[in-house]
Structure 1
Amino acid sequence: MNQLKKEITLLSGVGQLSTTLMGTGLFMIPAVAAGIAGNYTLWAWIALFIAICPIALTFATLGKHYPSAGGTAYFVRQAFNSRMENAVAWLFVSIIPVGIPPAVKLASGFLQPLLPDAINSPLFAQTFTLALLLAVNLSGSKSSGRIQTVIAISIFALIGAFLWKGNIGWQDTQMPLMQSEQWLPISLALGVMFWCFVGIEAFAHMGEEFKNPQRDFPIAILVGCFVAGATYFACTVVVLKFHAYGSESFDSGSIPWLSAQLFGPRLASVISLIGFFACFASINLYTQSLARMVWAQARQHRPNSPLATLSERGVPKRATLLVFGVLLASCWLGELTNMELPVFLTLANSVFVMIYLLAMLSATRLLHGKGKALAYIALLLCVLVFVCLGWAMLYALMILLIFMQPWKRASTINRTLPTADESH
């Protein structure tokens, strides 16, 4: 058994992507961005929406013509060679120590108030979160998609309640007059806000498991991005109206604070539960995609390896256990070293943007016609976002160069598969 089960429908695909894009970001990024750019954050969202459209469309086209659990690494292999593929695969793995532990920490922060005093500790909450994630990952994509669809509905209900209880009207969405001195804070906010749309590259790993990838995969990406973007914008409007931002420690708790202001303390447990599962949903897809990337690499390079096997449910069980073992060690190390969330968030963003950039670069070689032109636009936009990250760019560049090993002689270039137009 060496093929993943095709269990993902259009609805579950939209649910998985939208909850992944919102997840941890919805409970943190609107407040952090507002602290950087104030009311001009609304302009930053418009700019980000415009930038993400060609990127999402290009990922949708790649996933439609090249559905594979290898995701971006697979796209890069088809466009270039195995050396680049391996570099991208390891680049994706490098997200584990800098990206996922802070997300797990944020999720466990929502969980802690719900735990009994005897076991109410950050380390236990993070370990329990990982154990629950492992159970969901091993249950298969079909069960995971259903869970994340329910979580998506809960998030929409929460934001809808904020809009209703906060008496949000059209006057609250009016854009401030643009001024030249605001370009710098807007660009700095964009460097943080890109976190809200990382997840498309992880979703690319799920293309092989769609029942009808050619039809449903691109629609799921476009609808999922639109739903998440509209939710982020609405949440930011509420945050700005009630000034629910201002300091690093307060920003991560802005949504619970808003809930207490609008609904009183009686719903604190409900909000904490929704916050936990929203973060849980985001991390869930990443851990699934990482396991599938490891499995896809093993299947291609070492087909007889235990990592290349699947369970009876069609899940890469051993690859999943390996990913969670590394993740558990990273979380424990992060807790012992008291990592600062904003620093790790920026470093993780640099890796994500680099992955997006390489995917768009691959698309310029694999696609033709309108798809190729769109890929070049998306590539330029990724470069601009990369520049907005400042010094954090060096982290992603360093990792990429280490695993590409340009000082060694290139191995034989692998045969490139036919382009999208030739295959279809």
Structure 2
Amino acid sequence: MTTTLRPAEAPPTGRIGLLLGSSLYVSAVLGTGILLLPTLAARVAGPASLLAVVGVLAMSVPLAATFAALATRHPDSGGVATYVRLALGPTAARACGYWFFFGVCVGCPVVALVGAQYVVAMLGGSQPEVYVVGALFLLPPLLTNAVGLRLAGPVQLVLTGSLVVLVVLVVVAALPSSDPAALTPFLTHGWSGVGAAASLFVWAFAGWEAVTHLAGEFRDPRRTIPRATAVALVVVGLAYLALQYVAVTALPDSTSPVPLMDLVETGLPGAGRIAVAVVAGIVTLGVLGAYVGAFAKLGASLGRDGDLPAWVSRGAQPGGVPRRALVVVAVLASAYFGVVVATGGDLEPFVLVHTSCMVAVYLLGAAAAVRLLERGSPGWWSGVVACGLALVLAALAGWHLVVPVALALVAVGVGLARRVRSRSPRAAAGPSRGPGSIPRSGSAAG
């Protein structure tokens, strides 16, 4: 099946420049981790949690570079699924697309509810109110993406800019209460504690693959995507290092479910609760805005390539608004949200499904990079390193890989069903093609 790609030499037609591109990457990667991880990592590793931040940031460089290199050469709404299709064939691509669309999407209610917990904690509400606020958080990203980048772009810029400013304010507010003496002894929990903290920060530094689905919307992918990736690496790295420092030196023993709220109140008593609630809302809306747009573009491309019903394919082209795919994303996110509520609000199983599917996407995406990129180039070497890192992460995921395995089996089943249909007498007669239809070429579907 042919995947329609925009030629590299085509005139740029997208709306995303360096500023918006950097904003999307920062939102996708910085994410809700700032609300939980700094004090949680300090709890398991002590001051050495700073090493965990540096280590995971270093691991992020080859992953980010790999997806940036692929996105610049093949800017398409299919993102990683497109790269896998070109390198490993349609069945692997279908599995990769399903992992991201159906598996990674499980993270939507997690993001919404983590943000809601902070907002409700500021208001002094109860768990049912957390569910209500979380559901409300899902609406703005769906609405802004339904309008398209004309609205979603400026909103994303405002959200990300506010996020960065507020992170700075949080750090500045906490610094007067910081005690550098808390950095000693440094390895209070040994190297095993550093490893535990690093595994937590994998969630924090994930997201480099999300913006690849919007690569076709960049005005100049070959120049803008690598620069936006570099900007995001610097911003996200500095943000987590700064937050980790104040978490270790200002609140080394915090066990609060809303630790960032306590952190800010060390320097801004009273006003800190309001500030953190604003931060939580901004982070939540920013992350959901970036991911919902990516999910919708991927869904439309899966419909275009025959891996989802053709009805959802409208808007897959650069500049198109995938409103039908957005409807599917809204249904999926709502269904997952309902399951979270029905199971008592325990987010851990959904986080594990999300991360296991993301690791599977990383593994196939890195393997595709090794096949597609020029051997010996910086992108190719990044892909080789990323393959090794993805294998390590897959080993850590353990039995949680059952979800991506199940989705892969569904992808194989869909391919087999399509082969059976293609061999039926009716299919052999050949469907009539309208004047605007696009002939298929290349490998057989499935």
Output the CA distance in 1 between the equivalents of 2:373 and 2:237: 26
Q: Is the 8 A contact 1:202 1:285 kept in 2?
A: yes
Q: 1:276 maps to which residue?
A: 281
Is 111-120 or 42-51 further displaced after alignment?
A: 111-120
- The alpha-carbon distance between structure 1 residues 177 and 236, as it changes in their structure 2 partners (threshold 3 A), is closer
Q: Is the 8 A contact 2:301 2:316 kept in 1?
A: no
Q: 1:285 aligns with which of 271, 285, 290?
A: 290
Shift of 1:257: 1.5
1:83 aligns with 2:91: yes
Q: 1:420 maps to which residue?
A: none
Is 107-116 or 312-321 further displaced after alignment?
A: 107-116
Q: 1:317 aligns with which of 313, 320, 323?
A: 323
Output the CA distance in 2 between the equivalents of 1:403 and 1:144: 32
Output the CA distance in 2 between the equivalents of 1:94 and 1:139: 23
The CA deviation string for residues 244-291 of structure 1, in whole angstroms up to 9 with x for no partner, is 6654xx24x111121222201134223212211111111111111111
The CA deviation string for residues 206-254 of structure 1, in whole angstroms up to 9 with x for no partner, is 100001111101211221122111101111111111226654xx24x11
Q: 2:338 maps to which residue?
A: 332
- The alpha-carbon distance between structure 1 residues 85 and 302, as it changes in their structure 2 partners (threshold 3 A), is closer
Output the CA distance in 1 between the equivalents of 2:110 and 2:174: 30
1:149 aligns with 2:149: no
Q: Is the 8 A contact 2:104 2:353 kept in 1?
A: no
The correspondence of residues 220-231 of structure 1 with structure 2, limited to 5 A, is 220-231=228-239
Q: 2:240 aligns with which of 232, 236, 258?
A: 232
Q: Which runs of 5+ in 2 are unaligned?
A: 7-11, 423-440
Output the CA distance in 1 between the equivalents of 2:190 and 2:352: 21
Identical-pair percentage: 23
Q: 2:218 maps to which residue?
A: 210
Q: 1:298 maps to which residue?
A: 303
The correspondence of residues 174-253 of structure 1 with structure 2, limited to 5 A, is 182-243=190-251, 246-247=254-255, 250-251=256-257, 253=258
Indicate the SS of the match to 1:167: helix
Q: Is the 8 A contact 1:5 1:314 kept in 2?
A: no
Indicate the SS of the match to 1:200: coil
Normalising by structure 1, we get a TM-score of: 0.86
The correspondence of residues 2-401 of structure 1 with structure 2, limited to 5 A, is 6-95=14-103, 98-112=106-120, 121-167=129-175, 171=180, 182-243=190-251, 246-247=254-255, 250-251=256-257, 253-301=258-306, 305-310=310-315, 314-368=320-374, 369-370=376-377, 371-401=379-409
Give aligned pairs, total: 411
Indicate the SS of the match to 1:62: helix
Shift of 1:393: 3.8
Shift of 1:311: 11
Q: Is the 8 A contact 2:38 2:240 kept in 1?
A: yes
Q: Which runs of 5+ in 1 are unaligned?
A: 417-424
Higher relative contact order (CA 8 A, sep 6+): 1
Structure with max Cα Rg: 2
The CA deviation string for residues 330-387 of structure 1, in whole angstroms up to 9 with x for no partner, is 2122112113223432332121122111110100100122232221112112222333
- The alpha-carbon distance between structure 1 residues 274 and 315, as it changes in their structure 2 partners (threshold 3 A), is same
The CA deviation string for residues 171-223 of structure 1, in whole angstroms up to 9 with x for no partner, is 579696569x8333322322221111221111110100001111101211221
The CA deviation string for residues 33-90 of structure 1, in whole angstroms up to 9 with x for no partner, is 2222222211111111111111111111100101011011001000011101111111
